[in-house]
Amino acid sequence: MGHWWYRNIIEPGKLPMLLALVSFVTSFLVTRVITRTIRAGRGPFKNVTPGGLHIHHVVPGVILVIIGGFGAIGSARNGFGAALSAVIFGLGAGLVLDEFALILHLDDVYWSEQGRKSVEIVVVTAAVVALVLGGFVPFGVNDLTPEERQSRGLVVMNAAGNFCLALLALWKGKARTALFGVVIPFVALVGAIRLARPGSPYAKRFYVNRPRARAKAGLRAFHHDRRWTRRRRRFEDFIGGAPDPRPVPLEKPPAPPE
């Protein structure tokens, strides 16, 4: 175990990244537990509202990210300062991304349907960082042999090609595939060659005069969403809590007779 730890974590300088990932996940989970207890009206925690102003936890998160980021830049790679900065950065990043939906919509949508985006971005971020820790190299160059890695041209061509495939997958409306394709070879290729999702920029551009392709893409997206959306939402609700139910719109009263 000690040899594995040194060989895979200490020697390649991945300890700060591991500490940042652990503190990031811990910060997010602890924050969700606290917010859920506040929502339920239990426990000693309350919203921070000095002078009637609600201070969202993204505010201290941004401060911690700035402190940890600048601390990491000014620290040695394997020193205590780098480890401490990584922990601070991870704690801040967890607080910031827990309110990603608020930043995106510029509205307090924490417990709404739009608030699911925060849980999604946290899960995807943690998964990508874990893949990098496990040895996956961004832009898909991890399948090259040591001899091939000595050729800078080959490495650049491989990275550029995989990055372009990831961009194509993103253009087709497959954001998760594109993101994971940046670090896992061939994932971006699959997303790039398959049909685009309906409503994506690619579909709007190339499926306008192709009704069969448009219909096939819609049918595939329907079956995919029916299979996975419910499972994903259950997982997100388990981690972050279920959003508030949507209010039922009231029927308009009939107009009075003239």
DSSP notation for 189-225: HHHHHSPPPTTSHHHHHHSTT-HHHHHHHHHHHHHHH
Written as one letter, the residue type at 108 is D
In the chain, what are the domain boundaries?
A: 1-135
- pLDDT value of residue 162: 85
* 195 DSSP assignment: P
- pLDDT value of residue 247: 56
Burial class (CB in 10 A: 0-12, 13-18, 19+), 11: exposed
Q: How far is CA 218 from CA 5, 178, 223, in A?
A: 47, 20, 9
- pLDDT value of residue 126: 94
- pLDDT value of residue 119: 93
- pLDDT value of residue 144: 61
Can you tell me which residue has the tokens 């900065």? 85
- pLDDT value of residue 249: 52
Q: What is the pTM of this model?
A: 0.81
Can you tell me which residue has the tokens 């917010």? 35
Alpha-carbon span 69 to 87, nearest angstrom:
10
- pLDDT value of residue 83: 92
Chunked in runs of 10, what are the mean pLDDT values of the chain (258 residues)? 74 88 97 93 86 89 96 84 94 96 92 92 93 79 62 75 90 91 86 92 92 92 89 89 70 54
Range 204-207 contact pairs with CB under 8 angstroms and sequence separation of 24 or more: none
- pLDDT value of residue 150: 61
- pLDDT value of residue 154: 72
